[in-house]
Amino acid sequence: DLNLTWWYNQNMAILQASENRVFKFLQVNLGRVCSRDEIAQALWGQGWTQKYSDWMIDTLVYRLRHKIPANYAIKTCRNQGYALNKKGYQLEGSDPSNSVLKPVPGIQATEQYLNYMNNPANIRQGLTDLFKAAAGFKKYCRGRLLVINSYSFDNVDAVKAWPGEVVFIHHDERALDLHRRRAEELGLKHVSVCYDDIRQSRLADKTFNLVINDFRLNFNLTHRQNQQMMAQTRRVLKPGGAVLLSVVYGQRKRWFEGAEHLPRPCFPKSDYEKLFKIKTSKAGVPVDDWCLTSGLVLLY
């Protein structure tokens, strides 16, 4: 687009180096949806997976939106990425290309579920409840914390005094937006969000002291997906770290539906025991904490 090229040549001085890299990439791909992975590669180059920051990408796009010509717009394509396009023109396609993250089948949260989980007047299970239920948990309240697939904004409130960095990851941008806005409202500099699917995570090895996955295993459709999630969870855990999970289980695979009205698979307890590699000592006492009443697991 010659008009956009002319504007860039006249105004490149107002763009920071990072903004410049993102803009040039979006300009070359004018009218096409660019995935977050593609933007990250253009921004950070080699080693982008270690530098990846959903917050940084969103911040740069926000700044660019206020600098580009008024007849152009950067459109957010939910769960896909961003597209620079001339106003009034259709995008060439809706599918991002060359993304490391590929869509994985699973239970998708409905708007009704999101509304329920973000209404403090409703009875819900969140991080605060998980912290209270986890016996022996306090000694792990330190270092870098990873929270997987949270859908409740007030889970940010639960970690506002956490003595270290906290990262919320999700592959649903609606959830990321909820947590990002809450962290900004509370002025929490140690809390960030990142677009990532733990089942095929791009996070670096041995990065976190504690990983929390609260009931979200039940968003998987198959036990194979559960295994993928646990393999990636153990990979990103630092030596000596811990994993805190809670699940809903039954005598056999079935479906359950809580007050939030979102049907999800319920796997047998035996599947979870194998998945978490729960062992028994010579005295017959489980090495890992397994609370039979709530399906709570603390692995360390």
Task: Give residue 97's pLDDT.
Answer: 43
pLDDT greater than 90 at residue 186: yes
160-179 pLDDT, tens digit each: 999 999 999 988 878 888 99
Asked whether the CA dihedral 126, 246, 141, 180 is positive or negative, the reply is negative
The Cα–Cα gap between 291 and 246 comes to 9
State the pLDDT confidence band at 298, using cuts at 50, 70 and 90: low
Q: Tell me if 118 sits within 8 A of 153, measured CB to CB.
A: yes
Residue 36 clears pLDDT 60, i.e. is over it: yes
pLDDT at 115: 94
**C-beta contacts of 68-73 below 8 A and 24+ residues apart:** 68/7, 68/23, 69/3, 69/4, 69/7, 72/4
Is the pLDDT score of 217 beyond 90?
no
With b for 16 or more beta-carbon neighbours within 10 A and e for fewer, the 55-67 pattern comes to bbbbebbebbeee
What pLDDT is recorded for position 160?
94
Which backbone phi and psi does 187 adopt, to 5 degrees?
65, 40
Would you say residue 288 has pLDDT above 90?
no
Residue 47 has pLDDT above 50, yes or no: yes
> What three-state secondary structure class fits 67?
coil
Q: What is the average per-residue pLDDT within 184-197?
A: 88
Q: Is there a contact between 200 and 101 (Cβ–Cβ < 8 Å)?
A: yes
pLDDT in tens, 104-127: 778 889 999 999 999 999 988 888
Question: How many whole angstroms separate alpha carbon 92 and alpha carbon 83?
Answer: 10
Residue 265 pairs in a beta bridge with 255
CATH fold for the domain made of 2-86: Arc Repressor Mutant, subunit A (1.10.10)
Distances (CA, A) of 19 to 11, 188, 201: 12, 24, 26
Residues 75-98 have a mean pLDDT of 69
The pLDDT, as a whole number, for residue 284 is 40
Q: Which residues of the chain does CATH 3.40.50.150 include?
A: 111-299
Give DSSP secondary structure letters for 108-168. Answer: PPPHHHHHHHT-TTS----HHHHHHH-TT-GGG-SS-EEEES---TTHHHHTTT-SS-EEE
The Cα–Cα gap between 27 and 53 comes to 21
Q: How far apart are CA 130 and CA 92, in angstroms?
A: 45
Where do the CATH 1.10.10.10 domains begin and end in the chain? 2-86
Cα separation, 286 vs 277, whole angstroms:
11
Is pLDDT at 148 greater than 90 in this prediction? yes
Give 37's contacts (C-beta < 8 A, 6+ positions apart).
48, 96, 98, 99, 100, 101
- 111-299 falls under which CATH superfamily? Vaccinia Virus protein VP39 (3.40.50.150)
Token output for 64 = 């660019």
141 pLDDT higher than 90: no
- The terminus-to-terminus CA distance of the chain in angstroms comes to 56
49 pLDDT more than 90: no
Smallest CA-to-CA distance from 114 within 184, 177, 55 is with 177
Question: What pTM value is reported for the model?
Answer: 0.70
Give 5-18 pLDDT, tens digit per residue: 777 777 777 788 89
Angle subtended by helix axes 173-186 and 54-65, to nearest 10: 80
Tell me the per-residue pLDDT of 232-282, one tens digit each, with 9 for 90 and over: 999 999 988 888 888 887 777 788 888 888 888 888 878 887 888 765 444
Q: Is the pLDDT of residue 28 over 60?
A: yes
Which range (55-64, 69-78, 283-292) has the least confidence?
Answer: 283-292
pLDDT for res 117 = 92
